[in-house]
Amino acid sequence: MLLPAVTCISQVKLYRGDSTFDSDIAYTIENGFVYHGNSTFSRKVLFTVSDNKVYLGQSTSSFDCLYSFTDKSVYRGESHFISDLIYTIEDGKVYRGNSTFSTNCVLTLDDTRLYMGDSTFSSDLIMTISGTDTVLSLALLACIAGPY
């Protein structure tokens, strides 16, 4: 189940396309760390997620902050200024900038599947999400899967 806020992330796996094979794991999110591939095999931390911010690598320094997010917005760095707004989140969709027009839709979430653009066609499927007791935000998914 996907919810609007990140409160506790035990382990979430993001698979390429509609696969759920271990060989197709694109990212693993575990205890606030985002790993490339399966965290069992790759211990390389791509991002650290802490206090609704995404940091580069295994850091929580403000110098390494890539994105700040709420349940409705994603901003560049630690900013919350409209000029630094990257994405707007509404009704399971991610829009570029401060828009909710379908032409600006870059990602669509349908249950546990993430699609490119304003689509739920199988040909536009980017990732399948799995994890037990998953509490994960669409804004965080946009930070990891975007930009498009």
Domain ranges of the chain: 11-145
Convert the chain into a string of H (helix), E (strand) and C (coil). Answer: CCCCCCCCCCEEEEEECCCCCHHHEEEEEECCEEEECCCCCCCCEEEEEECCEEEECCCCCHHHEEEEECCCEEEECCCCCHHHEEEEEECCEEEECCCCCHHHEEEEEECCEEEECCCCCHHHEEEEEECCCCCCCHHHHHHHHCCC
Position 78 pLDDT exceeds 80: yes
CATH architecture, range 11-145: Beta Barrel (2.40)
Q: Which residues fall within 8 angstroms of residue 41, CB to CB, at 6 or more apart?
A: none
Amino acid at 148: Y
Q: What is the pLDDT of residues 18-49, one digit of tens each?
A: 888 888 999 999 888 999 888 767 678 999 99
pTM of the predicted model as reported, rounded to 2 decimal places? 0.84
Output the six-digit token pair for 37: 């591939």
When pLDDT is averaged across residues 124-142 and rounded to a whole number, the result is 80
Position 117 pLDDT exceeds 80: yes
Q: What is the pLDDT of residue 2?
A: 40
Q: What is the pLDDT of residue 8?
A: 47
